[in-house]
Amino acid sequence: MTTRFGHQSPFQTYVAKVRWVVGSLLTVIVMLAISTVYIAAQAPNEADAVQAFVSDSDTMSAREAYVTVLSAQRRIEIGEELSPTTLVPVSLRTGEVPVDAVRVGSDILQSRRFASRLLHAGDILTYDVLQEHRPPQLFIPDGFRAVTLKADERELVDGYVTPSSRVDVLWRHTDVRGMARVKPVVKFAKVLSVNGKLEQGGRSNVGKQPTTVTLLVTAREAQLLELARSLGTLSLVLLGNGDNGALARDAEYVTAADLFDSDEVSSKEVPFEGVAYTADPANGKALRYVLRGRRWSLDTQF
């Protein structure tokens, strides 16, 4: 069937429409395929990003769960200057850290600071401990007393007992049965001075002649020391820097029975009929006289 020039037949129109529909469908299919490939390629990256975010969050939470603060590396006495040699960093959980704890990196220690109270090894440094000025060298808190004892080189542990040291005071005496006995009279006493010197530095310069050592004790301990000095011999035992006074569980006293068999000790015991104590007028040392067979004699084992 013929048509006029420039006019399409119905068949040609139908073919053109089919071609347009098929082309559109192919275009949509191609675009869907491209989108699928793009989404598939981006999915692992998004998963990695989510995982990285979760990991970063866990790391930040772990970091925030611990705080690094300063603690005492050894025992720090009242008035002692705080320095890097006396402090050590320690990491604690956030809930275990005191509110006023001094954290690592704090600029408060850039200037001189002194301890206002006693710190034991491992104690956390807090701001209330810090003070700008050193307390008086001879600082005696309320309820305490300063007691001076005579001591020789042996009793001063070969000169290693120095100001700010901590010592136990042992009392050696003989009981009424004639048995030697040693008992700690004072424990964990602070040394205030040695031979009148308050500054701490190396070993004490002591010779063969007796010198003096001043201890910080309670009022009751001062009375016990005075009584024990008149009834026996006192000696000092030096404690370690990390000792807080509660580490050792020593016996309250030891006797000769702890060195010998009980049968051997009991066979050597000689009961006294009486005991009398006095002081040597030459050196002030305590002397003991025992009564045996109605005769007084100096106890050389005392």
Ranges in the chain, pLDDT < 70: 1-8, 42-64, 135-137, 176-177, 200-209, 245-251, 261-273, 293, 301-302
pLDDT at 201: 59
Strand residues in the chain grouped as ranges (E): 66-72, 87-93, 114-115, 130-131, 144-151, 166-174, 180-194, 211-218, 233-238, 254-255, 274-279, 286-292, 295-298
225: left (phi over 0), alpha (psi -120 to 50) or beta: alpha
Domain boundaries, the chain: 67-131, 144-298
Q: Which CATH architecture has domain 67-131?
A: Alpha-Beta Complex (3.90)
Tokens 């009398």 correspond to what residue? 276
pLDDT at 8: 61
pLDDT at 219: 92
pLDDT at 117: 80
CB 199 within 8 A of CB 193: no
Largest CA distance in the chain: 169
pLDDT at 222: 93
Strands 274-279 and 211-218: unpaired
pLDDT at 225: 93
How far apart CA 290 and CA 277 sit, in angstroms, is 9
How far apart CA 168 and CA 186 sit, in angstroms, is 6
The whole model's pTM is what? 0.54
